[in-house]
Amino acid sequence: MSSPYRAIFAAPGAKGFSAAGFLGRMPLSMMGIGIVTMVSQLTGRYGLAGALSATLALSAAVLGPQISRLVDRYGQRRVLRPATLVSLVAVAGLLVAAQQRWPDWTLFVFSAGGGCVPSVGSMVRARWAAIYEGSPRELHTAYSAESVIDEVCFIVGPILSIGLSTAWFPEAGPLLAGCFLAVGVFWLTAQRATEPAPHPGEEHAGGSALRSPGLQVLVLTFVATGAVFGSVDVVTVAFAEEQGHKAAASLVLAVYALGSCLAGAVFGLLHLKGDPARRWVVGVCAMAVSMIPLQLVGNLPFLAVALFVAGLSIAPTMVTTMALVEQHVPRAKLTEGMTWTSTGLAVGVALGSSAAGWVVDALGAPAGYAVPGTAGMLAAVGAFLGFRRLQPAPERVGAPLEGDGQHVV
């Protein structure tokens, strides 16, 4: 590991909470695609599969910020454990309902309950922010490391989820995702020394973190960005099935995440000067342009190469997003602010996966790649229109902006 990464993990407790966060985030890449694979295996209905995945994502989008607001007020341990138990019970119900062929409405009820899942990535990043407050270079490296870990989850997760559901039994992927969630969250919350201090007196001051104009731009643009991710997952599974190699979808999606992982690792070694908002807009536009080759896909090898290139812009854009959240959100609401960006992605994943499922059912898998193409264009438009609102204020509320001039990435 390069020295900047080795340095940040030297902090007491850093390796432990980051490892727990890795396990706790595995369901992010496993649950939705696992539900798509499970339901398509059991029923052959991609429209239903996409709608259930969308329901899960929308529920998480609604409940996630509320859970994070409670975390900012009461602390991670007191809030995350009961929330996780609710999610696990709902996931168990979903698996039983699917296996027993219960009515469709029961699947939607359990999928909605499964959305009561904490944003583990935001919890881990909040711990890094508490450790390296006032050390922007180290915090940038830490956020980059977490972005790499996110992408490792998206490399390993789909392989496990799709592979187990196709080779073992249809419910295997979501079942393992639930196990990862339980272990990760309970291990993370057992580490009290690095848990950020709650802010019970400040939580209600000024209302929700979403009142920040800059955060609003990030969240709205991420709705379209999430639609790219959600639709790519669904269409890729369907495309691989049409090609006669459904299990290969996990490998193709892993290549997509690998591109982002490599880019994030390199990006973490850089300490760039300049306007992070401008860099963020460039990243969003790069993601949009990378969707164009998918419209020409004809086979799985070409798709894998196209997705690898598309992945190169993801992690740097996500790291820059965290820097912008740091600028625009008060420290007492940082966990909530980070979760709102995840919420925007979750809403987009819901919309994208649902739309892609219906397009695939109606027109076939190749036509489904028009959905991420359209979503990418909308994200670029949103980034351009919101650029002015992302310009830094004279001073950031909740933490100082002063530094060495190299902290805005």
Go through the domains of the chain in sequence order and give each one's CATH number: 9-198+208-390 (1.20.1250.20)
Lowest mean pLDDT among 174-188, 200-214, 259-273: 200-214
Q: Is the pLDDT of residue 191 over 60?
A: yes
DSSP codes joined into one string, 192-236 = -TTSPPP-TTTTTTTS-GGGSHHHHHHHHHHHHHHHHHHHHHHHH
Tell me whether residue 137 is exposed, middle or buried, using C-beta atoms within 10 angstroms of its C-beta: 0 to 12, 13 to 18, 19 or more.
middle
Name the band, by pLDDT with cuts 50, 70 and 90, for residue 205: low
pTM for this entry: 0.74
Whose tokens are 């899942």? That residue is 117
Quote the pLDDT of residue 91: 92
pLDDT tens across 16-72, in order? 999 999 999 888 878 888 888 888 888 877 778 878 887 887 888 788 888 988 888
pLDDT tens across 299-320, in order? 888 999 999 999 998 888 888 8
Name the band, by pLDDT with cuts 50, 70 and 90, for residue 178: very high
Quote the pLDDT of residue 268: 77
pLDDT tens across 321-349, in order? 887 887 777 777 777 788 888 778 877 87
Quote the pLDDT of residue 72: 82
Q: Is the pLDDT of residue 394 over 50?
A: no
Q: What Å distances lie between residue 223 and 43, 87, 220, CA to CA?
A: 29, 23, 5
Give the span between the Cα atoms of 49 and 34, in whole angstroms: 10
**Mean pLDDT of the region 103-122:** 89
